[in-house]
Every structure is written in C-alpha cells, then in structure tokens.
Amino acid sequence: MDSGTTLRYSTMAVLLLAAILLATAWLKLKPWWDRARMRESILNGINSEYEQLRLARKDLVYHYYWALSRNDDREADMHESQVLDMDRKLEQLRERYWAVERGIACARMPISLYFCQGQESPVPLAPSQLTVRVYGKGEATDKSSSDDDSARMRHPIQAS
C-alpha cells in the first residue's frame, strides 16, 4: 500500500468515527432539545394568557372606578367580583408558570393533578407578587393612594 491509500483509509476512519460521535450526540441531545422547545412554547403561551388577563383586569378596575364615581354600587359590586375572579386566575397562571419553569409539573397536565418524575408533592413556590385584596366599601372621592386601586379596595376594614 502506498502512502496515498493509507492516508485515504485513515481519513475515512476519522470521518466515520466523527459521524458515529455526531450521531450519538444527536440521539442523546435531541430529546432534551425537544423538551426545552416544548417547555419554552408552553411558557410563552402561559405568559401571553397572563398578559391578556392582566390587561382585562386593568380594564375592569377602570370600570370599577367609573361605577363608583357614578354611585352605581350594583355595577361596582359586579366588577369587584370579576376582579377577584381575575386575581384567582392570575395566581393560578403564575403558579403554573413557576411549576413548568422549574420542571415540577408536567407541562401538558394541570398542576393540581399530576407531577413529573414521581414527585408526590410540589416544591414550595415563591410568594406571590400580585396580592389578592379583600375589598371593602370606601368613598369614590378618597384619594389616599396614587396606585390604580379603587377606594373600596383601599378600605378592607369597612367591608360590607
């Protein structure tokens, strides 16, 4: 065998070994890559739903203010219950986001029912950033705070 043939065979052996290593790496990394892509798409979906609910809540708080300024307690109470419902939904979405982000909950299943990898109970989640307030009756003209909470929301002690 001459040196050209030896070089060709050694090059072929190196290329074959590299192809085997690449195929092995692909087989090992592809499931991880697929899980990461699925997880990111689920997190993006949860985030977009959260933002839509947050904007709807902001609109409800605006209408709540408006009803209070017109002394329409019936409509204000209706908006108040809707805001409470929105707060509950936002909290559930936040907990689901944290659970999926940390790999606690299976991405496709509800948090409260199933956990991945044989976990029997979830890891404690971080405290909520969005607090759910107990609403009370207040005056619509009360300007004690500059945030977007209504007067009723600022006076939980005087709840009806």
Q: What is the pLDDT of residues 76-106, one digit of tens each?
A: 999 999 999 999 999 999 999 999 888 876 5
Give the tokens for residue 137: 């009756």
C-alpha triplet 64, 67, 72: angle, nearest 5°: 130
Question: 160 versus 35: which is more confidently predicted?
Answer: 35
25-49: b (≥16 Cβ within 10 Å) or e:
eeeeeeeeeeeeeeeeebeeebeee
pLDDT of residue 106: 58
What is the tens place of the pLDDT at every residue in 65-77? 999 999 999 999 9
Q: Per residue in 121-158, is it b (16+ CB within 10 Å) or e — as a string?
A: eeeeeeeeeeeeeebebbebeeeeeeeebbbbbbbeee
Residue 23 has pLDDT above 50, yes or no: yes
